[in-house]
């Protein structure tokens, strides 16, 4: 039976005002209601003629019964019948503190629908001793002591690098005439922070703020509870425990996924038979290799990609059918670039390109420093395939470190990590070895993405304020794509330049 809400009833109106932003308009926000109850209120719209405000009024009248109803609803429709999209209406904000940089990367890559803001080593100086010490080492005191000594040593190197880089930068970039000393030195100090952090390892602690819907959280927890890393499994249990205050039913059955574990182990075993990597592969600095792209193998990759975009744009804006558009473009190939030009000529720096840009695709392999990777991984529209951290892919040395003649300091920290990494692997502690990889060590990853995301990457990561390392990586990517799709890259870079 429909509940009629009489807004002229002052007490009802006052009560409703606690939960909705207005009482008489078609669009309104909802707040101060448990997240799982919000999800139910929204889910009712598919089968009920009631307004959201009417359903909220029902929940208010029921009070705790509303929570019980929500729990039963989610048990039936989300958990038993698989209508998981309902869970997307329940959102949780989570503070994640004092976790390793290794774990933060696992968490941020666990699901594309998670939103993060993370402590930045570019702007803040970590404290000595702020490292995650793997609890597996508690029963191996000698290795634990060596792990702690490594972290202390690398922090001392970090501090020395920071001081020496700052002094070098003050000599190289004196205070400009007419400019105040303090803001100038603050900018130089930030650059020193950026480069000195390459001496720190992945056990360094960090903090994150995370926002996610219950569906994404459930999938994330399942992935982390199936992780090879003990820290990930422990932290996932803690996250599960805390989010149950907000979405108790929707994460109730988030557990280790046997499929993930068994498949990972089986593929790792199979891959051992492929042999070792080339011994001379490690390199200095980053590299990008473009493996696949729209039009690859064709006579004119650029024309094929332009045709893909033109076809979509004309389908949306003309009265022609798909087959009619194909005929038109076949007879008027000179129009391909013109149509693309119309689509981008008004594109400003803060605009997103047309959705059809997602129909042009790329796949690339990146070798880049951990410092750069922790920035690139935040681009969640890229489908990442990620190798574990290692010391086998070479290192990236900041140019200012080389210029200031402090390279030996950084390489000393790198070498000590490499020696201990190999010792841990030889002792059967492969998972722990990942934590001693430094920010300077390179990681190998591959990413599948589209032209829409390329525009976003170049606009953000090649701008004046971008960190030098990630800017170099994205510039290499852009130049690789420019060889096959020059029109696209030239257009994208116009917003940067």
Side-chain half-sphere CA neighbours of 228 within 13 A: 14
Residue 163's alpha-carbon distances to 191, 406, 467, in angstroms, are 11, 11, 20
CB proximity list for 197: less than 8 A, separation 6 or greater: 121, 122, 158, 371, 439
Q: Identify the CA nearest to 200 among candidates 396, 438, 434.
A: 438
Under the banding of pLDDT at 50, 70 and 90, the label for residue 88 is confident
The DSSP secondary structure of 42-94, one letter per residue, reads HHGGGT--S-HHHHHHHHHHHTHHHHHHHHHHIIIIIIIT--GGGGGG-EEEE
Range in 120-124, 128-132, 320-324, 346-350 the model is least confident about: 120-124
Q: Which residue bears the tokens 């998670």?
A: 114
Q: Pull the structure tokens for residue 466.
A: 């971008």
Query: Residue 300: what pLDDT?
Result: 95
Q: Is 436 left (phi over 0), alpha (psi -120 to 50) or beta?
A: alpha
User: What pLDDT digit, counting tens, does each position of 30-61 carry?
Assistant: 777 777 777 777 776 666 777 878 877 776 66
pLDDT for the residue 64:
46
Tell whether the model's pLDDT for residue 157 goes beyond 90.
yes
Provide the token pair at 189: 């100090």
All domains of the chain, ordered by start, with CATH?
Answer: 10-89 (no CATH), 96-273+369-445 (3.30.1360)
415 contacts: CB under 8 Å, gap ≥ 6: none
Residue 67 CB partners (closer than 8 Å, separation 6+): 34, 36, 37
pLDDT one-digit tens code per residue, 371-406: 999 999 999 999 999 999 999 999 999 999 999 999
Cβ burial of 77 (10 Å; 0-12, 13-18, 19+) is: middle
Full-model pTM? 0.88
Cβ atoms of 455 and 492 closer than 8 Å: yes
pLDDT, one tens digit per residue, over 277-303 is 665 556 789 999 999 999 999 999 999
The phi and psi torsions of 316 (rounded to 5 degrees) equal -75, -40
* CA 64/CA 331 separation, integer angstroms: 68
CB half-sphere exposure, 81, CA atoms < 13 A: 11
Hey, is 376 helix, strand or coil? helix
Q: What is the DSSP string of 108-140?
A: HTS-TT-EEEE--TTT-PPPTT-B---GGGGG-
Q: What angle do CA 430, 432, 437 make, to 5 degrees?
A: 95
């Amino acid at each position: 039976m429909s509940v009629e809400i009489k807004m002229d009833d002052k007490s009802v109106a006052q009560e409703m005002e606690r939960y909705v932003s207005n009482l008489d308009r078609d669009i309104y926000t909802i707040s101060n209601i448990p997240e799982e109850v919000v999800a139910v209120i929204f889910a009712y719209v598919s089968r009920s003629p009631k307004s959201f405000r009417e359903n909220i009024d029902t929940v208010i009248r029921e009070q705790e019964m509303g929570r019980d109803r929500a729990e039963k609803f989610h048990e039936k429709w989300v958990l038993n019948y698989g209508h998981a999209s309902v869970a997307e209406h329940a959102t949780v904000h989570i503070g994640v503190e004092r976790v390793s940089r290794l774990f933060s990367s696992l968490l941020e890559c666990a699901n594309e629908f998670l939103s993060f803001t993370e402590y930045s080593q570019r702007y803040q100086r970590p404290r000595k001793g702020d490292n995650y010490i793997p609890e597996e080492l508690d029963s191996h005191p000698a290795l634990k002591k060596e792990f702690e000594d490594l972290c202390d040593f690398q922090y001392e190197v970090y501090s020395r690098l920071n001081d020496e880089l700052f002094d070098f930068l003050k000599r190289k970039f004196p205070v400009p005439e007419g400019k105040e000393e303090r803001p100038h030195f603050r900018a130089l100090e930030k650059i020193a922070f950026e480069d000195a952090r390459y001496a720190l390892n992945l056990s360094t602690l960090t903090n994150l703020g995370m926002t996610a819907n219950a569906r994404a959280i459930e999938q994330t927890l399942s992935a982390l509870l199936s992780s090879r890393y003990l820290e990930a499994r422990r932290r996932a249990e803690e996250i599960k425990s805390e989010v149950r205050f907000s979405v108790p039913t929707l994460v109730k059955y988030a557990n280790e996924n046997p499929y993930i574990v068994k498949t990972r182990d089986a593929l790792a075993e199979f891959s051992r038979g492929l042999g070792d990597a080339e011994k001379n592969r490690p390199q200095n600095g980053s590299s990008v290799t473009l493996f696949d792209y729209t039009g690859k193998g064709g006579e004119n990759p650029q024309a094929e990609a332009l045709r893909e975009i033109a076809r979509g744009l004309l389908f949306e804006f003309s009265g022609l059918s798909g087959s009619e558009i194909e005929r038109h473009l076949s007879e008027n190939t000179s129009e391909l670039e013109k149509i693309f030009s119309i689509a981008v000529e008004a594109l400003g720096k803060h605009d997103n390109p047309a959705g059809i840009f997602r129909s042009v695709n790329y796949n690339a392999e990146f070798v880049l420093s951990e410092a750069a990777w922790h920035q690139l991984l935040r681009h969640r529209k890229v489908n990442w395939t990620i190798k574990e951290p290692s010391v086998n892919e070479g290192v990236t040395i900041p140019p200012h470190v080389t210029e200031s003649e402090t390279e030996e300091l950084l390489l000393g920290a790198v070498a000590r990590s490499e020696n201990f990494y190999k010792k841990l692997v030889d002792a059967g502690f492969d998972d722990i070895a990942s934590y001693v990889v430094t920010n300077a060590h390179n990681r190998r990853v591959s990413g599948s993405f589209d032209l829409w995301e390329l525009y976003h990457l170049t606009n953000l990561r090649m701008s004046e304020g971008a960190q030098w390392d990630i800017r170099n990586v994205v510039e290499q990517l852009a130049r690789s794509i420019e060889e096959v799709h020059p029109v696209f890259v030239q257009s994208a870079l116009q917003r940067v330049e």
